[in-house]
Homo-oligomer: A and B are copies of this chain.
Amino acid sequence: MHSSLNVVSEKVSQPIGLACPVDLLSYKTACNDCRVRALCLPTGLSRQGNDRFSELISQRIRINKGGGLYQASDPLEFLYAVRFGSFKTCFTNVEGQGLVTNFWMPGDIMGCDAISTNRHVCCAFALEDSEVCLIPYKRLETLAHEFPFLQQSLNRLLSSEIVRDHKRLLMMCNFSAEERLASFLLGLSKRYAERGFSAHGFVLRMSRDDIASYLGLRLETICRSIAHLRQLEIVTFGGRTVEILNMPALKALEHGYGHHCAASM
């Protein structure tokens, strides 16, 4: 099966699990120092809450490019906050059919889908050399009890994943290949901008195949859509280096022209 071949072909540079603990010191100020703290879970917490949250993060680990962070069916022990680098998560059913559920950037919290069953349902791979903070889930629950604001943040985080998935389902149902690609690029652009990077030029960390899986298309279709965007001079692609030349045109593309199936409601 193609997918499982690919799974094993991943260069898992660290054993899945507690790979490569980077630092075991107390991170009293860990979150205060973090470049993406404004995007992460402790955002908005009181100073005291923030310190207590930092204490939770007793471990950070590095994962090399291609390395696995956790696998489906692993027990839920931690949530993972991306500190730098990026990840993809893949959801696979018993038949081995799978898809990339998401790409994760610094400040994102991975693993929330495991709360439902206390086991991870996705597996996570680093798309580049990356570092994550380990958030022990049980202790997070306790701290959230102590700091209701943290509990609310967690609830909002979970809920926003639901909304995000709904948007993606809508995209899968109503958008053409080109519109999906436009939407994907704009989404990345926005997220890079939120993290202080250029909204117009960035480097894709994922393969065409990953993008295809994420968008519910085949890799050839991605290539052709890219070729078309290039031809329209809306975006230039140099391998994985992207430059958005005409942002308004890209946004217009994303929304299509209303010629799509609208659901009955």
The answer on a CB contact under 8 Å between A264 and B1 is no
The answer on a CB contact under 8 Å between A97 and B155 is no
Would you call A101 an interface residue if the criterion is a C-beta within 8 Å of the partner chain's C-beta atoms? yes
The answer on a CB contact under 8 Å between B97 and A260 is yes
Q: Which residue of B lies closest to A142 (CB)?
A: B148
Which of A19-27, A46-54, A163-171, A240-248 forms contacts with chain B?
A: A163-171
Q: How far apart sit A162 and B170, CA to CA, in the bound complex (Å)? A: 15
Q: What does the 1/0 interface line of A100-120 toward B look like (CB < 8 Å)?
A: 110000000000111111000
Chain B residues with CB under 8 A of A101: 166, 169
Q: How many copies does the complex hold?
A: 2
Q: How far is the CB of A41 from chain B (nearest CB, A)?
A: 14
Q: What does the 1/0 interface line of A144-165 toward B look like (CB < 8 Å)?
A: 1100100110111011111101
The answer on a CB contact under 8 Å between A170 and B93 is yes
Chain A: how many interface residues by the 8 Å CB criterion? 69
Would you call A136 an interface residue if the criterion is a C-beta within 8 Å of the partner chain's C-beta atoms? no
Q: Which residue of B lies closest to A218 (CB)?
A: B261
The answer on a CB contact under 8 Å between A155 and B152 is no
Q: How far is the CB of A88 from chain B (nearest CB, A)?
A: 8
Asked if A173 meets B265 with Cβ closer than 8 Å, knowing A122-B166, A158-B159, the reply is no
Contacts A99-B169, A168-B169 supplied; 13 other A-B pairs, CB < 8 Å = A3-B265, A7-B265, A92-B265, A95-B256, A95-B258, A96-B258, A100-B264, A100-B265, A113-B163, A123-B265, A151-B151, A162-B165, A210-B264
**The 4 A-B residue pairs with the shortest CB-CB distance in the complex, in nearest-first order:** A3-B262, A213-B263, A165-B165, A115-B159
